[in-house]
Amino acid sequence: MTIARQRFKTWLGMDCCSQLPGDLLADILRRLPLRSLVSARGVCLTWRAIDDDHSLTTQAAALLPNHLYGLFVRLNEPASSPFPRRRQPPPSPVGVDIDDPEYELDDPTIEVHCNGLLLLNHHIVNPATRQWMRLPPVPPYTSLPDITHDDRGLVFDPSVSPHYDVLWMPYLILHQLPTVSLSDQWPPSPFILHVFSSTTGRWEKSFL
Amino acid sequence: MATGSGAAAAAADAEEKESGSRMITLTSNEGKAFVVTEASARQSATIRSMVDDGGCVDKGFPLPNVDSKTLARVIQYCDEHGNKEAHTVDERAALAKFDKDFIAELDADKAFLYDVTMAANYLHIQGLFALTTQCIADTIKGKTPEEIRTAFGIEYDLTAQDEEEIKEEDTHA
């Protein structure tokens, strides 16, 4: 163990930059998402210098979608705007007009949002990148009585991954549940959470 | 009776067959010789270019930067990827499973993992290098700087001023 430790040190530590090609460590650090890369910068002077030399953090940050500083939602357009009109449009206006017929939104209500990603009426919209997609239909809750309500959640952090998850949670009213499903292990738990993952592009089932 | 062109084609076939089954000797820094198929050795871009440049195939290739234990493990990877087909879904799945088991075993012995990474870098074995560097990156991922230092046995050498700079950066990140 001590020997292994020593070898790590001579491999990745500061006293051995000549042995360990900085390029090799750079190749390792290059594989990290931005948040981990920022942590790696704080490890020691060597790692920090390698990151600087190869502009790893700068490059990783450049891959992120435009940073979203905030979100304005204007309701009942075109009622008088609280913002002064500009003669010229701002240099790089970033926005999505959700009334645009292109989006085919019957009810453009923002249900949830997370780090700049919006969920509205079965659509995922990223105003910063102007990308949007319609979610596939949510699978039915087979073991439950008719669900009239469900809650939605969105998980997205562009500094970790460009991917996101959408959570679909049923509202459960206990006295309406079939008793058998509460008392037995089988049939399986009715508390099913549907999770849409942009990595797979499918709804997956999660059991609580 | 073979015509002129038929004989030439047969000769070319024989030559191709010969190069396909040609064996290459790799020698570790401890002088231990490993005989591998050319297909396996060609996983290494370094050896591939030496073979294609008409290098000393018969004499073999001495590898002064690689010890026997590391070379044996690297050859295990090259054999699997060089000698096996990866055309069908099943074949690709089998290779992916091999990679998964291979890296899991290496991950348990970090010092050896680093040796293999260095060798993959030196021999330019792209697939193996990607596999090992990703594995090391996964060890770093999600850890605080302190946890990374512990995992890699790195001494803390940042001054208070560096710390301040990092904090400053973090608030912007």
Decide which of A63, A78, A110 is a domain's last residue.
A63
B109: tokens are: 């012995």
Domain count, chain B: 1
pTM of the model: 0.59
Q: Containing domain of residue B98, as a range?
A: 22-155
Residues A31 and A114 reside in one and the same domain:
no
B:105-144 residues touching chain A, CB 8 A cutoff: 109-111, 114, 117-118, 121, 129, 133-134, 136-137, 140-144
Q: Round to whole Å and give the CA distance between B98 and B94.
A: 6
Q: Buried b vs exposed e over B96-132: b needs ≥16 C-beta within 10 Å?
A: eeebeebbeebeeebebbbbbbbbbbbbebeebbebb
Residues A108 and A158 reside in one and the same domain:
yes
Residue numbers in A near B110 (CB within 8 A):
4, 8
> A33, B141: Cβ pair inside 8 Å?
yes
The strand pairing partners of B58, in sequence order, are none
In a domain, A84, yes or no: no
Q: Round to whole Å and give the CA distance between A41 and A47.
A: 6
Domain count, chain A: 2
Residue in B closest to A46 by C-alpha: B157
In a domain, A124, yes or no: yes
Residue B79: CB atoms within 10 A of its CB come to: 16
Q: Is B58 on the interface with A (CB under 8 A)?
A: no
Q: Across chain B, how many H-helices and E-strands are there?
A: 9, 3
> A3, B173: Cβ pair inside 8 Å?
no
Nearest CB partner across the interface for B137, out of A5, A28, A45: A28
In a domain, A69, yes or no: no
- Per-residue pLDDT tens digits of chain A, which is 208 residues long: 444 444 444 455 433 333 457 788 899 998 988 888 888 888 888 888 888 888 888 877 776 654 556 667 666 555 444 444 444 444 444 455 555 555 555 666 788 888 888 888 788 888 777 777 888 888 876 655 555 567 888 998 877 777 889 988 777 666 666 555 555 555 455 567 788 988 888 888 776 5
In a domain, A76, yes or no: no
Size (chain A), residues: 208
Backbone dihedral angles phi then psi of residue A124, each to the nearest 5 degrees: -100, 125
In a domain, B101, yes or no: yes
Residues A40 and A108 reside in one and the same domain:
no
Shortest Cα distance, chain A CAs vs residue B69, angstroms: 15
Residues A54 and A112 reside in one and the same domain:
no
Residue numbers in B near A31 (CB within 8 A):
133-134, 137
Q: Round to whole Å and give the CA distance between A104 and B17.
A: 62
In a domain, A94, yes or no: no
Residues A59 and A106 reside in one and the same domain:
no
* B120: CATH: 3.30.710.10
In a domain, B147, yes or no: yes
Cis-peptide, bond into residue A187, ω within 30° of zero: yes
Do residues B135 and B147 make contact, with C-beta atoms less than 8 angstroms apart? no
ipTM: 0.77
In a domain, B102, yes or no: yes
Residues A130 and A195 reside in one and the same domain:
yes
Q: Containing domain of residue A189, as a range?
A: 101-207
Residue in A closest to B166 by C-alpha: A42
- The pLDDT tens digits of the residues spanning B97-140 come to 999 999 999 998 888 898 999 999 999 999 999 999 999 999 99
In a domain, A85, yes or no: no
A115: tokens are: 């780090």
Q: Across chain A, how many H-helices and E-strands are there?
A: 6, 8
Size (chain B), residues: 173
In a domain, A90, yes or no: no
In a domain, A91, yes or no: no
Residues A110 and A56 reside in one and the same domain:
no
Residues A48 and A125 reside in one and the same domain:
no
